[in-house]
Amino acid sequence: MEKDRRGIFQRMPFHQLDINEGKSDIGKEQLMDQELFNPQSSSVSSSRIIYTPSTFARTSLLHLQEVGSLQAVHPHVSQREDLVSFLCFIVLSGEGELSYEEQTYQLGQGDCVFIDCRKAYSHSTSDNLWSLQWCHFYAPSLPAVYEKYKERGGRPVFHPDDIASFTSLLSDLYNLASSSDYIRDMRINEKLGTLLTLLMEQSWHPESVTVSRKRMELAAVKEYLDEHFTEKIMLEELAEKFFINKFYLSKIFKETYGTTVNNYLISKRITRAKQLLRFTDMTVDEVGVAVGMGDANYFSRMFRKVEGISEAVVNTGENTLCFPKKHIV
């Protein structure tokens, strides 16, 4: 086996590759004594390059860790976790399965996978044995990029319109990794940037983005309620303030927080009322006004409904606190 001066392994079938000759920063600087894309070697015929980027590339660039292709020759399962790496692979033929973040995805020809390998995952081929192209790569900024990918509706598995663009890029990365180009780390950075752009473009799901944006708007609604719950708040005015249809606002608020806008407000007000009743000399009427429930009868009724007790009695754990009669409605 030949190796160039910077420790980059030349192209050859995996079974000929002496993977103990190089080191990698994967898995906290451990020796690269096992491949990242790790089906059992007896179950696949593969060609891969385990790439050792320069220190500059590891700290400043998108850098390659492993790139290759395989053809499964027997059914197999590969399980990995805690890899400081991101994985992209394309199913060229056959079928298989991916388990990731408590979801199971059925994979077929033309499907693309993009996942964060710091999280546990497994993949397996079916009896319809698959062939794949893949790369493992990383950068200090990549976790934030992946979060943006998800915010834009990107999914762990999607079916790109143009699979040739992905396979071409993966082939280019393989060729670069096996080359002696003295600026190959820069060229690899460029290719990986193109790959990320392609992933962003072809995995985009506008409907997911819409939901994500609405939920971000909903967080702003909740923050407003938390700050203004003592004021008079009408659903129509709230919806108008945040440019959201009131019926949609009601629906998505309950789906997200498990309660209606009105019940959320009541809960906030009753919680504040208990604090005032417990730690101040304010009368019940004064407390009702202070928390935005000015009508004493309404306040009393809501307090009993939520707490199951009179507002004159507040459970404080082991002790039951009874307020003076002036507090009783």
Please name the residue that has the structure tokens 């507040």: 314
Residue 327's alpha-carbon distances to 73, 260, 294, 298, 313, in angstroms, are: 80, 30, 15, 15, 10
Among 23-32, 41-50, 53-62, 221-230, which is the least confidently predicted range? 23-32
Same domain, 32 and 124: yes
Among 22-26, 36-40, 236-240, which is the least confidently predicted range? 22-26
Model confidence, pTM: 0.56
Same domain, 148 and 246: no
Same domain, 119 and 196: yes
Residue 23's alpha-carbon distances to 51, 65, 79, 192, 253, in angstroms, are: 9, 11, 22, 21, 51
Domain boundary among 185, 204, 223: 204
Task: Tally the domains of the chain.
Answer: 2
Residues 6 or more apart in contact with residue 284 via CB below 8 angstroms: 277, 296, 299, 300, 311, 312, 327, 328, 329
Using DSSP's 3-state secondary structure scheme, residue 46 falls into strand
Domain boundary among 145, 177, 204: 204
Same domain, 167 and 300: no
For position 176, which CATH number holds? Answer: 2.60.120.280
| pLDDT attached to residue 8 | 31
Separation between Cα atoms, residue 249 and residue 97, nearest integer Å: 37
Mean pLDDT of 22-48: 57
Please name the residue that has the structure tokens 């604090």: 275
Q: Is residue 4 part of a domain?
A: no
The β-bridge partners of 76 are none
Q: Is residue 6 part of a domain?
A: no
Rg of the chain, C-alpha, whole Å? 29
**Mean pLDDT, the chain, integer:** 80
Task: Give pLDDT tens digits for 262-319.
Answer: 999 999 999 998 899 889 988 888 898 999 887 777 888 888 888 776 555 553 433 3
- Of residues 154 and 107, the one with the higher pLDDT is 107
Confidence of residue 214 (pLDDT cuts 50, 70, 90): low
Task: Give pLDDT tens digits for 16-28.
Answer: 233 323 333 333 3
Same domain, 200 and 231: no
Same domain, 170 and 22: yes
Phi, psi of 117 (to 5 degrees): -80, 0
Q: Is residue 3 part of a domain?
A: no
| pLDDT attached to residue 205 | 63
CA quadruple 81, 83, 84, 90: dihedral, nearest 10: -90
Same domain, 85 and 229: no
| pLDDT attached to residue 49 | 95
Same domain, 156 and 245: no
**Residue ranges making up the domain that contains 73:** 14-204
Same domain, 227 and 189: no
- Of residues 135 and 204, the one with the higher pLDDT is 135
For position 238, which CATH number holds? Answer: 1.10.10.60
